[in-house]
């Protein structure tokens, strides 16, 4: 059996690449590579050689033009050295091959600005949703309860029946749609994978600070109809071990943090479907 391979893209203001790579390894990937975007643009590294693409948090290009917008423009228009291929061609080929993409925080912002989510009708380069400034008008760094939708097609959240507890740290996390019709399609397809909720994971909430940004319908995470592409504002890579929990010295917690299941599910999917 071939090795399962994950790639984490860094550069131009990203962060959390080490944590994301560690989460991939803990999740079961045989090999995880951290690659600077310049290595991909130069042709030294190609997305085609990997099964799972991680777009991490950070402040791409200083959030100029809005979070991740400059990078989205770059990736859609930049050419790969040594030929006529554009980098976006590697992204669309990666998706067409049935591979997995996970965007976290700034990575989620990048996916929606590029148009990869929600990906209706196989259209992955048309922007229909966005992430904008938090309603509170300031950066939020706190832990949130996230109610899961068991009916979601997401590959990453299989087995999460109630919810998970993850940290957020962002200034532009408010999820919005370009129309009521787009929101209706998201809801009808169960594409809103996770929602900000009460501590019992019973009821989604619009109340601050449980909903830290004012996202419409409390949406914290979104997947495409195939379930293979997913973006979320909370950071799963920041809670893969119990010592990352804010109350780890005061509570008897399982060794695995709530975020690890996303990476374990990704590795399992790749083993069963792509290698």
Active site residues: 105, 235, 237
d(CA 170, CA 142): 10
d(CA 268, CA 256): 17
The first and second tokens of residue 68, run together, are: 């991740």
Degrees to nearest 5, angle at CA 49 with 48 and 51: 85
Number of neighbouring beta carbons within 10 Å of residue 188: 8
Among 35, 39, 46, 32, smallest CA distance to 90 is for 46
Among 174, 186, 178, smallest CA distance to 218 is for 174
d(CA 111, CA 27): 22
Degrees to nearest 5, angle at CA 251 with 249 and 253: 100
Instruction: Please confirm whether the linkage preceding 269 is cis (ω < 30° from 0).
Output: no
What lies within 8 Å, CB to CB, of 184 at 6+ separation is: none
């Amino acid at each position: 059996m071939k090795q399962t391979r994950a790639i984490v893209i860094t550069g131009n203001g990203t962060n959390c690449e080490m944590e994301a790579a560690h989460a991939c390894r803990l999740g079961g990937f045989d090999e995880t590579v951290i690659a600077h975007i310049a290595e991909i643009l130069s042709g030294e590294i190609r997305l085609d050689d990997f099964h799972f693409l991680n777009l991490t948090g950070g402040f791409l290009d200083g959030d100029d033009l809005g979070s991740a917008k400059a990078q989205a423009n770059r990736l859609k228009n930049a050419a790969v050295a040594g030929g006529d291929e554009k980098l976006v061609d590697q992204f669309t080929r990666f998706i067409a091959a049935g591979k997995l993409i996970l965007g976290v925080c700034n990575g989620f912002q990048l996916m929606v600005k590029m148009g990869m989510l929600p990906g209706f009708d196989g259209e992955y380069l048309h922007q229909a949703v966005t992430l904008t400034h938090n309603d509170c008008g300031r950066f939020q760094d706190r832990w949130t309860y996230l109610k899961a939708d068991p009916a979601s097609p997401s590959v990453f959240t299989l087995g999460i029946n109630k919810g998970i507890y993850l940290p957020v740290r962002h200034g532009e996390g408010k999820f919005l749609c370009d129309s009521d019709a787009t929101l209706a399609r998201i809801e009808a397809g169960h594409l809103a994978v996770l929602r900000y909720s009460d501590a019992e994971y019973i009821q989604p909430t619009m109340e601050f600070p449980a909903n830290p940004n004012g996202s419409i319908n409390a949406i914290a995470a979104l997947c495409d109809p195939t379930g293979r592409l997913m973006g979320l504002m909370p950071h799963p890579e920041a809670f893969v071990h119990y010592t990352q929990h804010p109350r780890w010295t005061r509570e008897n917690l399982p060794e695995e943090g709530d975020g690890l299941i996303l990476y374990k599910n990704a590795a399992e999917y790749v083993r069963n479907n792509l290698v």
